[in-house]
Amino acid sequence: MDNQIIVKLEDVWKIYQFGKIDLQVLRGVNLEICRGEFVSIMGPSGSGKSTLLHIIGCLDVPDKGRVFLENKDISKLSEDELAKIRGQKIGFVFQQFNLLPNLSGLENVMLPMIFQGVSEEERKQKAKKLLVSLNMEERMYHKPKELSGGEQQRIAIARSLVNNPELIIADEPTGNLDSKTGKMIMETLVLLHEKEKKTIVVVTHDNNIAEYSEKRINIRDGQII
């Protein structure tokens, strides 16, 4: 497989069972994402885009088909093996921010590095450097409830970057923000893509957000259209 392809899905199906009903959420999805691309996945509610994101992000595995991350077939890996890959290779940014309320911004950013065995001194240095680069040096010691939505999302972006992942996945990253703040967050992601050459996948139902990406993937009824 081409070295430039970072994520590849081959005939991926995901089926959920509700009693006697099989709900086919993904139906034979084929997809390639190349290193350094900025991709948006678009679709209405219930189209399967979140399930697709979970599979790309190693949060879930398909019922049929194969998924490759950097040429490695991850479709049959155990939860522990998937967790290890997520920790090392993927950074997540969510609509809900998912910050721990009792920790400062700096401590939230340091957290993922604990699981990678990074020393405390290095954790602090790396986290501070990232927060400064995102213009958060004045706010890094504040707890989430003392921060605006946009500031919380910048903390979340810094946290997604600390282990220097190959891939950043953002699930409706502006969903809880006003349009001006949302624009600022998207510009931050664009900068990461251009300067750091990060591969970024954004899931959205919003055309304005999708316009920031170079490549748009549309999904409807579990199939890419």
Q: For residue range 128-164, what is the model confidence (pLDDT) as tens digits?
A: 999 998 999 999 999 999 999 999 999 999 999 998 8
Per-residue pLDDT, averaged over 43-51, amounts to: 90
Residue that is written with structure tokens 């509700």 in the block = 18
pLDDT band at residue 116, thresholds of 50, 70 and 90?
confident
Q: Is the pLDDT of residue 95 over 90?
A: no
Q: What is the pLDDT of residues 5-31, one digit of tens each?
A: 999 999 999 999 989 999 999 999 999
Instruction: Give the mean model confidence (pLDDT) for residues 204-217.
Output: 92
Q: What pLDDT, on a 0 to 100 scale, did the predictor assign at position 3?
A: 64
CB atoms within 10 A of CB 203: 27
Distance CA 67, CA 73 (A): 6
Name the DSSP class of 13: E
Q: Give pLDDT, residue 93.
A: 92
| Average pLDDT of the residues of the chain | 92
Domains of the chain, CATH where assigned: 37-60+83-224 (3.40.50.300)
Say yes or no to pLDDT of 1 above 80: no
189 vs 67: CA distance, rounded Å: 25
What's residue 33's pLDDT?
A: 96
pLDDT of residue 196: 87
Read off the pLDDT of each residue in 50-58 and give the average, rounded to a whole number. 94
Residue 176, pLDDT above cutoff 90: no
DSSP structure string for 24-76: EEEEEEEEEEETT-EEEEE--TTSSHHHHHHHHTTSS--SEEEEEETTEE-TT
3-class DSSP state of 218 = strand
Please state the rounded mean pLDDT for residues 47-58: 93
pLDDT band for position 45 (cuts 50, 70, 90): confident
* pLDDT at residue 2 in the model: 59
Which residues, in sequence order, are CB contacts of 207 under 8 Å at separation 6+?
Answer: 42
Residues 187 and 134: beta-carbon distance below 8 Å: no
Instruction: Specify the pLDDT at position 123.
Output: 93
Residue 91 tokens, joined: 């950074």
Q: Which residue type occupies 147? A: L
pTM given for the model: 0.90
Structure-token pair, residue 40: 């948006």
